[in-house]
Amino acid sequence: MTESDTVIRAVRPGDEAELTAMIHELAAFERASAECTVTESQLGEALFGPNPVVFGHLVEVDGQAAAGALWFRNFSTWDGVAGIYLEDLFVRPQFRRRGLARTLLATLARECVDNGYSRLTWAVLDWNVNAIALYDGVGGRPQSEWITYRVSGPELSELAASSPA
């Protein structure tokens, strides 16, 4: 990052509108706009409510929200310590190729090291070759032996209904 007027910081109340907009921009980039329903109030509660479940960092360039990362802590039963799962990292198109994504990753790596966390984990769509190149370049390694699963929507409700109580 060469911009002297570039600031990376933890998100704070008031950032919900920009972060929500970025999430919707990311959904459009990932060809999944119809699936993205998050609102500013939902994000505000998740970030700043009494029991925060997500954390974030924002990059500002010339006072404009240029990039953001949302993450949460996970836990490694094998290591016995927490880690960070990077849920979303997004750089707005006009701010790409300036090192902002790499700087966000480095910031999260610093968060891990400073807090004794054992790892930084994320997922990437298999067609996002630019992101994959970046992730390879920072020492990330695909976990090809693992298959990610998700249950949601009606299937989640059906599974929950099968629970004894």
Residue 3: pLDDT band with limits 50, 70, 90: very low
The mean pLDDT value for 78-85 works out to 96
Max Cα–Cα distance, the chain, nearest Å: 58
| Tens digits of residue pLDDT in 141-160 | 999 999 889 999 999 999 99
pTM: 0.91
Mark residue 111 as left, alpha or beta (left: phi above 0; alpha: psi -120 to 50; beta: remaining).
alpha
Domain membership of residue 75 (yes or no) is: yes
Distance in angstroms (rounded) separating the CA atoms of residues 26 and 149:
21
Domain that includes residue 147, residue range? 6-161
Q: State residue 4's pLDDT score.
A: 57
CATH number, domain at 10?
A: 3.40.630.30
Q: State residue 33's pLDDT score.
A: 97
Proportion of the chain above pLDDT 90, given as a percent: 95
Distance in angstroms (rounded) separating the CA atoms of residues 66 and 5:
12
Distance in angstroms (rounded) separating the CA atoms of residues 144 and 2:
35
Domain membership of residue 1 (yes or no) is: no
Please tell me the total count of domains within the chain: 1
